Chains A and B, each alone.
Chain A
């Protein structure tokens, strides 16, 4: 049972345009969400997070939007740069204090120069 879903395995975007990565979740107990970026042969790197009390969080070129009613979050990268080409994972944690993150399967972003 995949509680966090990233339905697009890959995405290609032109340099300078907006990249939008989507993530859906099924567990209404999730209250904290994160995005990680992963390059080959490296561990995931934290990008940005959002608490369920917010609907938007912005950090430089990265903005995460949370739609709790739709159980959907998205990561916007503007403008996209070739160095952004990586696999992006969304993750969620819950109110139950289980001390773990549930990750999606990832979306491979390719930014074309």
Chain B
């Protein structure tokens, strides 16, 4: 059974640019969540999608957006990149019903560097 796949693994962008990250969840999983990991900050929740609907959003500016497609694949977009957006972006998938009382499986992440 294939795991959660995130592409690309590494990305270097310039300040002011925009970026799109992709996540393919485990087959059969309908919930996809995105997290940002920076040193000393742990994993910060960005948003969660289920059946193409955003069910929850973390405390990030509107430059961070996402969407989910009918096949449960998800994309995350960051516009007008800032140096502080440099981080590891992690995607997690879980079974239907979201992440309550069930473990989430993470992808390897996309390492974004903004220069």
Residues of A within 8 A of B (CB): 4, 6, 32, 34, 36, 41-46, 49, 51, 89, 91, 93, 97-106
Contact = CB atoms under 8 A, between A and B. Distances in A.
Report whether over half of chain B's contact residues are helix, strand or loop; otherwise say mixed. Answer: strand
Interface of B: 4, 6, 31, 33, 35, 40-45, 48, 50, 55-56, 58, 90, 92, 98-101, 103-109
29 contacts: A32-B101, A41-B108, A42-B108, A43-B4, A43-B92, A43-B107, A43-B108, A44-B106, A46-B103, A46-B105, A49-B103, A51-B101, A89-B43, A91-B43, A93-B99, A97-B98, A98-B56, A99-B50, A99-B98, A99-B100, A100-B45, A100-B48, A100-B58, A101-B104, A103-B44, A103-B45, A104-B42, A105-B40, A106-B42
Contacts of A101: 33, 43, 45, 99, 104
